[in-house]
A and B are shown apart, each in its own frame.
Chain A
Amino acid sequence: MSTLVLAWSLTAAQFLLGLAMLCATFRILRGPRAQDRVVGFDTLYVTAMLLLVTFGIGLGTAIYFEAALLIALLGFVGTVALAKFLLRGEVIE
């Protein structure tokens, strides 16, 4: 019973996180300006990281946690690089 509830709620949580990723993708595709797209990207990678953590709970391994940590690290670097580009790319103009 308990494992059934856990499996069901994990599936539901993955569905909800997938919906959240869809919302972020909508903002990436539709964002009026570049900074909106970068915020959407930020949300997208955080949600992907949470999705990987839920996969790790579902399969009972710690490998997915390391993948989630990697995604968080690289996503942070990517967002900072994009923000820096938005700051400096227009100094030249």
Chain B
Amino acid sequence: MTAALVLLGATITLIGAFGLVRMKTFYARVHPPTLGTTLGTGCIAMASIVYFSVLQTRPVLHEVLLVLFVLVTTPVTLMLLVRAALFRDEAKSEAGEASSSAIE
């Protein structure tokens, strides 16, 4: 059970990171890593909960904290980042081709 969950979480995270490499534009690139932060973290934390609960024969639930924290913070950071990216793209298109290298 723990083995399957750990493998599943790691595979999902790898797929997400691979999508980060493969996607063409920034706005497409924001999406794949969330696969790792939601399902990957959920699966691996679930594996940890199952493992330690079986090992200590009592419910060990502190990994829930990790999942909750990551689930809450990921949308906040990505929304801030996309807002910054939108701002930078607008600034770049206003500045024109001449100074685009300076902004980059």
Query: Using a CB–CB distance below 8 Å, which chain A residues touch chain B?
Result: 5-6, 8-10, 12-14, 16-17, 19-21, 23-24, 26-27, 32-36, 38-40, 42-43, 46-47, 49-50, 53-54, 56-57, 60, 62, 65, 68-69, 72-73, 76, 79-80, 83-84, 86-87, 90, 93
Contact = CB atoms under 8 A, between A and B. Distances in A.
A62 B3 contact: no
A86 B6 contact: no
A46 B13 CA distance: 9
23 contacts: A9-B3, A9-B4, A12-B7, A12-B10, A24-B17, A33-B26, A34-B88, A35-B84, A35-B85, A38-B81, A39-B81, A42-B77, A43-B36, A46-B13, A46-B33, A46-B70, A50-B36, A65-B48, A79-B80, A79-B81, A84-B84, A87-B84, A90-B88
A26 B26 CA distance: 15
A49 B37 CA distance: 10
Contacts of B30: 39
A38 B84 CA distance: 11
A23 B88 contact: no
A54 B4 contact: no
Interface of B: 2-4, 6-7, 9-11, 13-14, 16-18, 20-21, 26, 29-30, 33, 36-37, 40-41, 44-45, 47-48, 51-52, 55, 62-63, 65-66, 69-70, 73-74, 76-78, 80-81, 83-85, 87-88, 91, 103-104
